Amino acid sequence: MQITRNTLSTNPGPADWFTGAVFVDAITTPDGDWRIGAAAVHFAPAARTAWHTHPNGQTIWVTEGAGLCQREGGPIEEIGPGDRVFFEPGENHWHGAAPNRFMTHIAMQQADDEGNVVTWGEHVTDEQYGRAT
């Protein structure tokens, strides 16, 4: 058995990756032969990711609150506690909190052979997000 004590601080989500107030607690990061990246991501109301893709896909698991997600070209979907969303490898998508609710999810993704877990794109505009309100 191995216990790893939490020595990491909660960090604000980078402005290049998120719109609004977002905080990230790292769970695990790819290192050597370990290819899994995971984090608890906490979104304030209306906060959201930018459009992005994952080379090996991504699963998010909502732990609390109310959220929204969308794949490019698809409808905006409502998500809540216990819901799991899998985004296919290379599928352009975003996810975040509902307009009037906080939302936390665990994001899990596997690195590719070069160690990459995500490619970030453009921010989701207020107009694109507003279609959900």
- How many domains is the chain partitioned into structurally? 1
Q: Does some domain include residue 88? A: yes
Q: Quick count: other Cβ atoms within 10 Å of Cβ 10? A: 11
**Does residue 5 form part of some domain?**
no
> Rounded mean pLDDT of the chain?
94
Cα(106)–Cα(67) distance, rounded to whole angstroms?
13
Report which DSSP code applies to 126. Answer: H
Q: Is residue 1 part of a domain?
A: no
| Residue at 86 is within a domain | yes
Q: Is a pLDDT exceeding 80 seen at residue 133?
A: no
Q: Which domain holds residue 38?
A: 11-130
Q: Per the domain annotation, does 6 fall within a domain?
A: no
The pLDDT of residue 131 is 66
Distance (Å) of CA 28 to CA 36, 37, 126, 129? 7, 5, 31, 30
pLDDT digits (tens, 9 = 90+) for 80-104: 999 999 999 999 999 999 999 999 9
Question: Which are the contacts of 111, defined by CB distance < 8 A and separation ≥ 6?
Answer: 30, 35, 36, 37, 55, 56, 117
Residue 100 belongs to a domain: yes
- What number is the average pLDDT over the span 73-83? 97
DSSP state letter for 129:
H
77: nearest Cα among 103, 112, 56, 57: 103
CATH code of the domain in which 98 resides: 2.60.120.10
Answer whether residue 121 is part of any domain.
yes
Higher-scoring residue by pLDDT: 8, 23: 23
Domain assignment present for residue 115? The answer is yes
Classify 82 in phi/psi space as left (phi over 0), alpha (psi -120 to 50) or beta: left
